[in-house]
Amino acid sequence: MPQKPIVYDAPIPEPRALTAAALQSEILEKLTYSVGKDPIVARPHDWLKATILAVRDRIIDQWMESSRETWRTSKKRVYYLSLEFLIGRLMRDAMSNIGLMEPVREALKNLNVDLGDLINLEPDAALGNGGLGRLAACFHESMSSLKIPAYGYGIRYANGMFRQEMSEGWQVELPEDWLMHGNPWEFERRESSYEVGFGGHVEPITEPDGLVRHEWRPSEHMLAVAFDTPIVGWRGARVNTLRLWSAQSIDPILLDKFNSGDHIGALEESARAEALTKILYPADSTPAGQELRLRQEFFFSSASLQDIVRRHLQQYGDMGSLPDKVAIHLNDTHPAISIAEMMRILMDLHGLRWAQAWKLTRGTFGYTNHTLLPEALESWPVGLLERLLPRHMQIIYAINAEVLTEARSRAGFTDAQVANVSLIDEHGSRRVRMGQLAFVGSHSINGVSALHTELMKETVFADLNALYPDRINNKTNGVTPRRWLMQCNPGLTKLISDRIGPQFMDNLELLANLDAHADDPGFQQQFAAVKRANKVALAQVIKDRLNVTVSPDAMFDVQVKRIHEYKRQLLNVVQAVAQYSELRAHPERDWVPRVKVFAGKAAPGYWNAKLIIKLINDVAKVINNDPAVRGLLKVVFLPNYNVSLAETIMPAADLSEQISTAGMEASGTGNMKFMANGALTIGTLDGANVEMLQAVGEDNMVIFGLKADQVAQKRARSEVPRAAIDNSPALKDALESIASGVFSPDDPNRYRDLIGGLYDHDWFMVARDFDAYAAAQKRVDEAWRTPKKWYSMAIGNTAHVGWFSSDRTIRQYAEEIWKVPVDSQ
């Protein structure tokens, strides 16, 4: 039965004073009565919690009013489902967005506490891996800033992505215990708990009218419990909710087993539930790992959909208005099982017939594709889905029958085309293609850069695009300027504000006014001073973490991102080896001092990526300790790359390495963060680099290498790369020195197979792009030698970053996909 709608008519509280004195009193009150500490004995972590609680109190009134306003106006809500939300530290973000940074700083100063120390003490939420999760966080903040009613749904990982440490240059994965001491930002919502089932069987039930209804009877149940975190928009425009699910067993202990002496077995159900939300991306190289990952995806998808449907019925009373009041967005294929789960909920729980349920489902869902890599377009063994989610497998077969019938009868597809659009991959062991499921079950499918979207149409979804030609569209990614310029680079923010006025903080595209000052010698000098101060800060981090001294007057050449062969950290380090050889052979030349900074994590089961990390560290050990180099080249790998480390690295970078194999990076967002902070890009025409080049112009970027169509042609011809290596003396020498053990004397054969792959197939075009890359680096050197030219280019990058704001991206999602109104500012 529909629930009676809730009417919100509570009075809006009066805003509290923003003075330092008022905040000082509130922080002391929290320290005393919530933390339970006397200021005399309070430690830094006590002050951190007290300050967070005081700031959080200032957010809650607006949070509640945001919810009331949505109920009062019956606005359409956006629900963003993502397996990752890399939100980073929240205190500075919240204080900045509601204008509390300086009052809190002064309040703490009066208490002999340094705000900067507390900001650095807050742990990073380990809820994501890289670009996908950080994009979700940027989008959620932009939705709040644009006053779009929205919920983010994900998993409350207890450990999340592993903490990366180095042992003799090798990556070591350790638990990231960010929740060990609790999370003062979150609120447990015990009333928002839902049962999620697995396994069991499906029971057909004949209704009085003769129609057959299906009832799934799971053999295993667990509870999804909600934990809510407020996400504050710019200037407190709106506060939305990030709802994360934690798994709990229905019976925390099996007393019969415990009393019979099986004390470990008595905790089996609790352990199974705890494992579900323990780790992000459990290794899926084993059947058990695959099952756990599928369980995670269904667990959070099912809980989220139950919550969405409950809220919708509570306000509107029937399911028919679902697409008009609800927009559910799938961030990549991880939540794709939601399509089948929504169909189950509509048909099995609410009695809708197939046609109506399918129409509502497709009208409600949108899907963002983030990759063309086959391994990232998830698929699951049919047998696993039939055992774990038997009703969903029935629904997937039924959806597939409808799609294939339409492909054959309406579109006249060939057998090969029908096989391509099928939700079931019949090649080898039968698998369910989650990308196809997300595609056919959504009314909108978008790529994340212009090039990526076109390649989607031409490659992975070519036949689905022919079957449903109006569904694919482009929404180029963006990043939130609040975190990635205003908060992480206050010096540059103030400099820009002093020169063109502070209005750009509310509309990033006004940064274009900075272009008129790019050649101003005085402004260039100020810009350079801000950059150097940021480099001094990063140099100190390098010294503290690695005990390596680098000069802030050298060019900081930075590649920080997930370690993957297509991102080509290998190309970068091979070029460093070639430069090292050239530097020793010709010490008399006018060398540009460089610090090559690497950071990023390799997936635990990705051997070549972990080997590349080891190679970077081995090369660094040799180069950094060779007196012949005279400090002109340094190589460093900073472990445990996360949002907080990125906030130090991005403002300090002079050169941004965006050198992925063309056609393989969907968009990239690190490229935009570097651009905002005045770094030049050296890159391929891949992902959003293409649109960045259009925005900033060829004079302000350094582009090199094969284009996406050329890469495809070389792969299609199975071209042998050995000739490219033999014709490049610098490359051949660098590869031979790595393969022969020059950088690994303890194990001369360590890199033989890694380098051998470049000779045998070079799938990622490292060898074939090397000469173009080396030449591009020389062009970078030439620009660096002329500071006036360099800083004109750097300022030009910052001036043209406005279009790459996540606010612009979210406006496009809202207007073109979700059909929700946005703030008119």
Q: How far apart are the first and last CA of the chain?
A: 41
Run of H or E residues at 71: helix 44-73
DSSP class of 277: T
**Strand 379-381 to 431-433 pairing:** antiparallel
Run of H or E residues at 383: helix 382-388
| Two structure tokens written together for 100 | 């509390």
- Backbone region of residue 797 per phi and psi (left: phi > 0; alpha: psi in -120 to 50; beta: other values): alpha
- Alpha-carbon distance 596 to 604, whole Å? 24
The dihedral built from the CA positions of residue 334, 368, 681 and 658, taken in this order, carries a sign that is positive
Question: Which residues participate in catalysis according to the annotation?
Answer: 370, 561-562, 567, 669, 673
User: Per-residue DSSP letters for 727-788?
Assistant: T-HHHHHHHHHHHTTTT-TTSTTTTHHHHHHHHHT-TT-HHHHHHHHHHHHHHHHHHHTSHH
Phi, psi angle pair for 716, to nearest 5°: -65, -35
Cβ–Cβ under 8 Å, residues 699 and 793: yes
- Alpha-carbon distance 80 to 202, whole Å? 30
Cβ–Cβ under 8 Å, residues 424 and 401: no
Grouping H, G, I as helix, E, B as strand and the rest as coil, residue 328 is strand
DSSP class of 124: P
Cβ–Cβ under 8 Å, residues 704 and 737: no
Of 27, 9, 97, 13, which Cα lies nearest the Cα of 61? 13
- Alpha-carbon distance 597 to 556, whole Å? 7
User: Per-residue DSSP letters for 557-620?
Assistant: EEEES---GGGTHHHHHHHHHHHHHHHHH-TTS-PPPEEEEEE----TT-HHHHHHHHHHHHHH
**Strand 326-331 to 365-368 pairing:** parallel
Helices (H), 74-150: 91-97, 101-110, 115-121, 131-145
**Strand 201-206 to 187-198 pairing:** unpaired
Contacting residues for 591 by C-beta, under 8 A, at least 6 apart: 583, 632, 633
Contacting residues for 386 by C-beta, under 8 A, at least 6 apart: 393
Helix 131-145 × helix 806-813 angle, to 10°: 80
| Two structure tokens written together for 553 | 């007057």
- Alpha-carbon distance 254 to 270, whole Å? 9
Q: Is 284 exposed, middle or buried (0-12, 13-18, 19+ CB in 10 A)?
A: middle
CA 300 to chain centre: 17
Longest dimension (CA), the chain: 93
Cβ–Cβ under 8 Å, residues 155 and 354: no
Helix 607-624 × helix 752-760 angle, to 10°: 110
| Two structure tokens written together for 146 | 């644009």
Cβ neighbours, 10 Å, residue 373: 13
Helix/strand number for the chain, H first, E second: 33, 22
Burial 413-428 (b: 16+ CB within 10 A, else e): beeebbbbbbbbbeee
